[in-house]
Amino acid sequence: MQRKVISILVQNHSGVLARVSSLFGRRGFNIDSLTVSATDKPDISRITVVVHDDETVLEQIIKQTERLEETCQIFQLENEKSLLRELLLVRVAANAHDRAELHEIADIYKARIIDLAPASMAIELTGEPEKIDAFLAVLGHYQILELCRTGITAMARGDQKHHKQATKL
pLDDT at 78: 87
Provide the domain limits for residue 41: 3-77
By CB atoms closer than 10 A (0-12, 13-18, 19+), residue 131 is: middle
pLDDT per residue rounded down to tens, the chain (169 residues): 788 899 999 999 899 999 998 888 887 778 889 999 989 999 999 999 998 877 787 788 889 899 999 999 999 998 888 999 999 999 999 998 899 999 999 999 999 999 999 999 999 999 999 999 999 999 999 999 999 999 999 988 887 544 444 444 4
pLDDT at 122: 98
Q: Which CATH number is 147's domain given?
A: 3.30.70.1150
DSSP 8-state assignment for residue 14: T
pLDDT at 69: 92
Q: Which CATH number is 11's domain given?
A: 3.30.70.260
Q: Does pTM surpass 0.85?
A: no
Number of folded domains in the chain? 2
| Alpha helices (runs of H) in 70-118, residue ranges in sequence order | 96-108
Which amino acid is located at 12 in the chain?
N
Tell me what the pLDDT averaged over the chain comes to.
89
